[in-house]
Amino acid sequence: MAIFHKKPKDREHPEQLTPWERFQHDAAENHRAEQKSRHSWSGKRLRIGDKLPKLKSQRRRLLFKRVLILMGVFLIGAAVAGYFVSPLSHVQTVSIQGNNQLSVTQVTTATKINPGVALWSVIGHDQRTTKRANQSQPQIGKVTTKLVGLNGVRVTVKEIRIAGYLSSGQHYRRILENGLILKATYSQPGGGSPIYANFKSGQRLKTMITQYAKLPSAVKHNISEIKFAPNKANPERVHLYMNDGNEVYATISTFASKMAYYPGIVAKMKSKGVINLEVGAYSHPFKNQNN
């Protein structure tokens, strides 16, 4: 008698399995999934673990850099603070140059730059120093300072030159080339600068000073007195007395340009006399040579 065996059920379809076979199938699938998951996390842990030493090294370097920066800031701050309280931050020596008519004491007093003052209050503040000095001493036109060595200061002064002395009664007052008339009075005028006389208008005088300032130094020093002497023909006429013995008549508005010819005219004169520069330029000897 032939025995026929049933064909095994297709194990690819869980719904065809017996309960026991389905249990074994699910257990096998779970086991494979668990093993796969373990291998995957193990790989990740290994890869992260490989990076841990590098991360720690980077953190140590970053921390070291921060410490260095903090130490540098602290040391710089301490050095700056130490400098400002040390003698190095204060002026030790002061030298004055450029002054001709002003004394060293006058310049020092006006600028207030003395040994002991803070360097940071002097160097780089020339404009402020100039303003302060000019208020105290109007003859100071500009002040420049320069650091010499560690704590020495060189002060260079540009003076406003004296244009002459204004005659006022029995006294004289200095006039600067910028037109400023100083308040101080003198019983006698200083040498080397002309006397201005008979000037009633401040604007006339200022224009005259502006013209005078344009002259060459040699011509300036040869003028002894400038007297305002208008007439009907020339309301701007001035009469000059020269140190070389000559006299000059000129017009205020053209004074500088005409006086430029003075040395050449004098060179051709055979004797002392009068030079007229009002209209044209000509000369004639004094009528009385005893004058």
Which tokens sit at 268? 């051709």
Q: What is the pLDDT of residues 42-91, one digit of tens each?
A: 555 545 555 567 777 777 777 777 777 877 776 676 555 555 556 677 89
44 within some domain:
no
Q: What is the pLDDT of residue 168?
A: 84
Domain for residue 171, yes or no? yes
**Strands (DSSP E) along 9-106, which ranges?**
93-97
Structural domain contains residue 55 = no
Q: Which of 104, 127, 159 is the last residue of a domain?
A: 159
Please report whether residue 59 resides in a domain. Answer: no
pTM for this prediction = 0.65
Task: Give the tokens for residue 123.
Answer: 């160097």
A 10 A CB-CB count for 67 gives: 10
Is 170 in the same domain as 106? no
Q: Is the pLDDT of residue 232 over 50?
A: yes
Residues 210 and 225 in one domain: yes
CATH number at residue 145: 3.10.20.310
Domain count within the chain: 2
CB-based contact 224:194 (threshold 8 Å):
yes
Place of tokens 């050449």: 264
Residue 38 lies in a domain: no
- Residue 259, domain CATH: 3.40.50.10960
Q: Are residues 237 and 218 in the same domain?
A: yes
% of the chain with per-residue pLDDT over 70 = 81
What is the C-alpha to C-alpha distance for residues 239 and 19, in angstroms, rounded to an integer?
Answer: 143
Range of the domain at 139: 90-159
Assigned domain for 37 exists: no
Average pLDDT, the chain: 83
Model pLDDT for residues 135-162, shown as the tens digit of each residue: 999 999 999 999 998 889 999 999 999 9
